[in-house]
Amino acid sequence: MTDSTKKRVLAIGIPQFATASIEKLREKYIFDFIIPDPTSRMETIRKIHKAAEKNKYDACFWLFRNAPISPFTKEMLGPLVPGCRLFITGASGYDDLDVEWMTANGAYVSNVPNASTEGTAVMNLLLFLSVLRGSREAEQTMRSGKWHGNLPLMEDPCGKTVGIIGMGAIGKSFAQKIIPLGCKVIYNNRNRLSTEEETTLDIKYATLDELLSTSDVISINCPLTPSTKNLLSKKEFQKMKDDVYILNTARGSIIDEEAFIEAIQSGKVCRAGLDVFVNEPNPNPFWLTSDKVTVQPHWGGFTTSTVAMVEEAILRNIDTFFETGCPLSYVNNPLIRG
């Protein structure tokens, strides 16, 4: 196969771990790499457009750390179509992709739905323990030279009712990590699990109102969709127990930010643990200054094993698409348009 007949892939970012797989695939395909500019979305767009002027691409993928350059829209990727028939994000979520535009241009949109499950669930556990133990306040007090000063007593996981909103792979993994700590887990999901699976996981279904009113800790683990945007707003916070704990490793916009801040300031929410925010990577300054909030920079999936799995999954999707015409995982079907 000559270079002129090989499929060509545009990579936005350079894989760190899947080098051997890329070298093997280079026997069949051509890979061009550009380095996204973390400080300028427009500079990244310029690089993509420049690459598209030189070559026609059959597939395009990007890796983690994309908040500074997202969203992935026609403005950014327009010159790649109609030739590019596959766009792959290294994330499980795809709310920052213009799926409708990509579908209309005959392109599959592929994600990596399960590679970050364990990393995100462990982050959920870290935040869970942090908010119960008040680790931010304790560390801040000690670093200020006051030892434990007037810190309030902490809480233990044992005996806590944890309500999980979204019982997908991450929700299930998180549940299995906290049940051995003595927690009771209830959940709400778009589709209820089977009785057999509920029994196996040792979890119980609850309506959203039941979950809000009875949970000591509420964990957000559902995807961001039009129906889940601002799922928790002022009236939902009013239904919650006083001194409730909130965790969010899903997407910031699932919680109404203004209502959330108000609930923390009023004391309705005792503490919050957050790995996701509205307007990433420039979140509301409140989250960076409140001693009631443990924050992480959307960092749950950034482990060596997770990133390695994501890179390999992307390459398998590309290879399968070029071999069969359909990727392994996809969130749309450009052959069926509404």
Which positions are catalytic? 251, 280, 298
Cα(301)–Cα(259) distance, rounded to whole angstroms?
27
Exposed, middle or buried, 53 (CB in 10 Å: 0-12/13-18/19+)? exposed
Which residue spans within 166-306 are E strands per DSSP? 184-188, 203-205, 217-220, 244-248, 269-274, 293-295
With contact defined as beta carbons under 8 Å apart, do 63 and 36 qualify?
no
The token pair at 197 is: 């699976």
Any bridge partners for residue 188, and if so which?
Answer: 165
With contact defined as beta carbons under 8 Å apart, do 219 and 274 qualify?
no
Nearest to 274 by CA among 265, 230, 283: 283
Exposed, middle or buried, 117 (CB in 10 Å: 0-12/13-18/19+)? buried
Cα(15)–Cα(187) distance, rounded to whole angstroms?
36
Nearest to 309 by CA among 116, 152, 166: 116
The token pair at 337 is: 């348009």
With contact defined as beta carbons under 8 Å apart, do 320 and 328 qualify?
yes
Cα(227)–Cα(237) distance, rounded to whole angstroms?
18
> Which strands make up the sheet holding 86-89, listed edge to edge?
29-34, 7-12, 59-62, 86-89, 108-110
